[in-house]
Structures are given as C-alpha cells and as structure tokens.
A and B are shown apart, each in its own frame.
Chain A
Amino acid sequence: NAGVTQTPKFQVLKTGQSMTLQCAQDMNHNSMYWYRQDPGMGLRLIYYSASEGTTDKGEVPNGYNVSRLNKREFSLRLESAAPSQTSVYFCASSVDRADTEAFFGQGTRLTVV
C-alpha cells in the first residue's frame, strides 16, 4: 500500500543548480499535482496534470517545469534553483473529481542556499 511516493525526501541545492523531484502513485489515478508549502502560506498549487499527456499551470508555476511521464509518474523540475524556492514540496494524486480525496506523498524538503 505505497500510495504516493516522492523522492528525494531532503535536498540542499546551491543557487543556480538544477534538479528533478520525482513522484509516483500506484492507485491508478488520472490526476496528479505538485504543491509547495511555506510557513503562513498553506499549500499552493504549482502545476497539475488532469491526465497522462496533459499539464496545466497552477497558482505559482514560475521557475518550474513538469513532465507527466506516464499515468503513474509526474516529475517537477527546477532548472535554475533560487533561494525563494526553498520550501516543502508535496505531490498528490486523485480521481479526477472534486468530491474525491487527494492523496499526498510525504513531501520533499528543499533548501536552496
């Protein structure tokens, strides 16, 4: 019963470095999401994918790119990391309806120095 798995759990980057956060779900969900969580800001949607092959911007997409590799996997890429991207990143998945539960991963704690 893995659910939503994120890797890595922790990462420290230098300003300007790039990295990819990986996310995989085993619940056969169509929709997947990337959120960031900052103190006092709650969860903010970065990008989402309603189905394999489609992606859309959320509230805070600048500085990020995503790839829906297949139905299971949805990755988030930081091309040139900035200190403002220091945050906890959560991947989530759901059936593509508003009245269903979104299942979250454990989060990736990213620090950009």
Chain B
Amino acid sequence: QKEVEQDPGPLSVPEGAIVSLNCTYSNSAFQYFMWYRQYSRKGPELLMYTYSSGNKEDGRFTAQVDKSSKYISLFIRDSQPSDSATYLCAMSASSNTGKLIFGQGTTLQVKP
C-alpha cells in the first residue's frame, strides 16, 4: 500500500461546479500538506500549502486537513475550464527537508 492514496479519476464537471479532490495517507508523522497543479506536458506548480490540521482558503480554492482521519481535501468553487489539470497532493513529515511524498494525481476536466 502506498503511503499516500489519491483517486486518479478522471473527473469531469461542468463549468461553475464545486469540485472536491481528496487524498488519504497512512503515515501519522506527516505534518506538511500541499496541493500541486500540473498542466499537460508541464511541471507541477504549488497551489496550496497547509501545516497540520485545519482549513486554508485562497480565492476559489480551499484546502482542508483532518489529521485524525488522515484525510486531506481540496475544494474548487465556481470551477473554470482553466482549472482543467492534474492535481497532486504531497506531504512531508520533516520540517527541515523539502522531500515530498506525492499522491497519484487526479485529472480534472472542466467543460464549458
């Protein structure tokens, strides 16, 4: 079993829909949680970062971490065709290294 599990999709939604992307993990030492967005044939780019449990909001994006359930989520409100990409969750246990463990990535398509 992988340390981080993510439903690969693909997920297809109409423009304006609310999208929920999720990851589960098994390592209770993970404290740093990120979401990266990857457009086709490009490298991933950091979208959201959260430390420990709680919520973080940035515009149309909200990241949630539930450490008791070992579950993290990314919500996208009012989804746009430009949100079509692969979304990867990533996690780290140590504060003094940038070494990340990634999920498999979920491919999202937002249809106009």
Residues of A within 8 A of B (CB): 4, 31, 33, 35, 40-45, 48, 50, 58-59, 90, 92, 94-102, 104-107
Please give the number of chain B residues whose Cβ is less than 8 angstroms from any Cβ of chain A in the complex: 29
Partner of B6, one of A42, A98, A106: A42
Known contacts A98-B95, A104-B43, A105-B43; decide if A42 and B104 are in contact (CB<8 Å): yes
Q: A97 to B95, Cβ gap below 8 A?
A: yes
Interface of A is mostly: loop
Complex contact B104–A98 (CB within 8 A): no
Select A31's contact among B31, B97, B101, B102, beta carbons within 8 Å.
B97
B98 engages A43 (CB within 8 Å): no
**Cβ–Cβ contact B98 & A97, under 8 A:** yes
For the complex, what is the distance from the CA of A35 to the CA of B100, rounded to whole Å? Answer: 10
A45 to B90, CA, bound (A): 12
Residues of chain A with a CB closer than 8 A to B88's CB: 42-43
Q: A40-B104, A98-B94, A101-B46 are in contact. List 17 more A-B contacts (CB 8 A).
A: A33-B98, A40-B8, A42-B102, A43-B44, A43-B102, A90-B44, A96-B96, A97-B95, A97-B97, A98-B31, A98-B99, A98-B100, A101-B49, A102-B98, A104-B45, A105-B43, A106-B42
- Mostly, the B contact residues are loop
Q: Which residue of A lies closest to B91 (CB)?
A: A98
Given the interface pairs A42-B104, A43-B44, the reply to whether A50 lies near B32 with Cβ below 8 Å is no
